[in-house]
Amino acid sequence: MRCGTVGIRRGFDHSEWLRNTTRFIARSPIARPHSLEPAMNHVSASRRAFLQTSAGLAAAGAAGICFPWTQSAVASASPNARPRLASIGVGGMGKGDARGHRRFADIVAICDVDRRHAEQAKADERINAPGAELYGDYRRVLDRNDVDVVSIATPDHWHVKIAIEALEAGKHIFCQKPLTLTLEENQLVRAACRKHKGRVFFIGTQQRSSRDKFLRAINMVQQGLLGDIRKVTVGINGSPTGGPFKTSDVPSPLDWDSWLGQAPKVDYIAERCHGKFRWWYEYSGGKFTDWGAHHIDIASWALNELGEGQGPVEIDGTDANHPVDYKDGYATVTDSFNTSHDFAVKCRFASGVQMVVESRGDNGILFEGSKGRIFVNRSKITGVPIEENWDKDVYGPEQLTELFKGKPAEGHKDNFYRCISEGGLPVSDVFSHLQVMNSCHLCSIAARLQRKIQWDPATETIVGDPLAASLAAREQRKGYEILKV
């Protein structure tokens, strides 16, 4: 749900979407009224047996050899062998993800609280899912016992709630970044993943599959070719500014109350919704969790700071500004973008390495070591160590396989479906991503308070600052609470 919307396609049977949409009359994902329609059941006898086998393997703690592997094998497999996927959230990123998944899975369900998005996705020739059923309530999708995989590309504040309920329903998950809205959500989703060890949970941080740039930079740092790393500068740009914006009537195809979910109930402002929701702390973390989820990820991976109990110990947000006034970490107005647009947040690790997350330099990551320095972003990797190929003898298939956790280096979604088939952690696994999200949220909290905060990575708590610690979680609107498992 990230792009703007267009008009409803003429000739589309809107009644199909309405038939499969259950309004959020009863919010609990567990106790639903009997009047709700029953779960869809499209499972053939052979597929049912296959799924039972897969479930047994999952219960044993392995992802299970569920599907044939290699892209060509999946593409030519029978419908009973190919995974069946539901796309939940099909705005800009959701449509793009669905097109990628289509190579490996059959898309049988499309869900969005904006009917226009669902209709456009079904009509998209590159998604090629003319038989997919349309929904406005993701719970109806999770009820389907023929859905093996869910792709989640909703606004950020919905990710964790849907993901945990998808795990409870036995689904494999491909979820867009950033996975979480708060530090508390990190802990909630980690607990759910530990409970459901047999499910593959993949995060859409595609830079982890960039062999010619980001993985090369990570390897160069980890091989010690740059010497002792002294400083890492992470350029993520600043959020746009804008407002005050006017309220308006909710577009008829959009279920605004459901779109808001756990966030506070507010009147509809178009700039709060599609394509611009990331510039409101109510739904996201601004650039800290937008580009930060990519670049802080690469920096932390290179520094070997992605394990549980690792991460920064001090985060200094004194040099951060916002486009609106703040009090106690919250914006004082409700009609304007409120995420930080100008900042240089300094993170210090226990090792003494400093990571500066800033809006003022080039977008990308600068690693500075005692022997050399390199800069990397999506368009280039530069520096004397690159120009002189310092890594020519220590960057190849062996190193890439190690970075891919023992699997071949390949495309992002290729790795996801390989892990569903073979088991093991994917290159973009949920556990290391949560460590990154700790850093992203801490940058956001320090910036919102414009002060230095102390973090205990072992206990995952903000130390000695009750106000900052209170920003680790948010009140969830009644009926939209996140399931705790």
12 or 20: which carries more pLDDT confidence? 20
User: What is the C-alpha separation between 88 and 92, in angstroms, rounded?
Assistant: 12
User: What is the C-alpha separation between 374 and 233, in angstroms, rounded?
Assistant: 11
Q: What percent of the chain has pLDDT over 90?
A: 83
In DSSP terms, 149 is beta-bridged to 85, 172
Same domain, 276 and 344: yes
Picking from 186, 206, 226, the residue at the C-terminal end of a domain is: 206
Mean pLDDT of 254-282: 98
Phi, psi of 198 (to 5 degrees): -80, -5
CB 427 within 8 A of CB 208: yes
Of residues 212, 237, 217, 216, the one with CA closest to residue 229: 217
CB 435 within 8 A of CB 308: yes
Mean pLDDT of 150-158: 98
Write down the pLDDT at residue 74. Answer: 59
Is the residue at 405 inside a domain?
A: no
User: What is the C-alpha separation between 139 and 26, in angstroms, rounded?
Assistant: 11
Write down the pLDDT at residue 41. Answer: 41
Q: Which ranges of 303-353 would DSSP assign to H, the alpha helix?
A: none
Same domain, 19 and 70: yes
Same domain, 192 and 222: no
User: To the nearest whole number, what is the mean pLDDT of the chain?
Assistant: 88
Mean pLDDT of 193-197: 97
Is the residue at 145 inside a domain?
A: yes
Picking from 171, 206, 241, the residue at the C-terminal end of a domain is: 206
Same domain, 456 and 383: yes
Q: Is the pLDDT of residue 154 over 90?
A: yes
Joined tokens for residue 117: 């998005």
Per DSSP, 114 falls in state B
Is the residue at 135 inside a domain?
A: yes
Of residues 104, 207, 168, the one with CA closest to residue 419: 104
Is the residue at 235 inside a domain?
A: yes
User: What is the C-alpha separation between 361 and 279, in angstroms, rounded?
Assistant: 20
Task: Give the domain range for residue 75.
Answer: 14-206
User: Taking the chain, what is the end-to-end CA distance rounded to the nearest angstrom?
Assistant: 27
Joined tokens for residue 309: 């109990």
Joined tokens for residue 396: 């190849």
Is the residue at 365 inside a domain?
A: yes
Sheet strands side by side (includes 106-111): 133-135, 106-111, 84-88, 149-152, 172-175, 201-203
Q: What single string gives the DSSP state of each residue in 396-456?
A: SHHHHHHHTTTS----HHHHHHHHHHH-S--TTBHHHHHHHHHHHHHHHHHHHHTSEEEEE
CB 218 within 8 A of CB 302: yes
Is the residue at 66 inside a domain?
A: yes
Phi, psi of 232 (to 5 degrees): -125, 130
Q: Is the pLDDT of residue 17 over 90?
A: no
Among 64-78, 107-121, 172-186, where is mean pLDDT lowest? Answer: 64-78
CB 148 within 8 A of CB 170: no
pLDDT band at 72 (very low <50, low <70, confident <90, very high): low
Same domain, 195 and 85: yes
Mean pLDDT of 456-466: 98
Phi, psi of 465 (to 5 degrees): -145, 85
Write down the pLDDT at residue 345. Answer: 99
Is the residue at 416 inside a domain?
A: no
The per-residue pLDDT for range 381-408, each reduced to its tens digit, is 999 999 999 999 999 999 999 999 999 9
The per-residue pLDDT for range 308-330, each reduced to its tens digit, is 999 999 999 999 999 999 999 99
CB 157 within 8 A of CB 262: yes
When divided into structural domains, the chain yields a total of 2
Q: What is the largest CA-CA distance in the chain?
A: 69
CATH code, domain carrying 191: 3.40.50.720
Is the residue at 226 inside a domain?
A: yes
Same domain, 346 and 297: yes
Q: Is the pLDDT of residue 43 over 80?
A: no
The per-residue pLDDT for range 25-36, each reduced to its tens digit, is 233 332 332 222
CATH code, domain carrying 450: 3.30.360.10
Same domain, 257 and 353: yes
Same domain, 279 and 295: yes
Same domain, 288 and 343: yes
User: What is the C-alpha separation between 288 and 278, in angstroms, rounded?
Assistant: 10
CB 181 within 8 A of CB 205: no
Phi, psi of 36 (to 5 degrees): -65, 145
Picking from 206, 230, 248, the residue at the C-terminal end of a domain is: 206
User: What is the C-alpha separation between 329 and 446, in angstroms, rounded?
Assistant: 9
Same domain, 94 and 128: yes
CB 73 within 8 A of CB 81: no
Same domain, 171 and 217: no
Same domain, 108 and 247: no
Amino acid residing at 427? V
Mean pLDDT of 35-50: 38
Asked whether the CA dihedral 106, 108, 112, 116 is positive or negative, the reply is positive
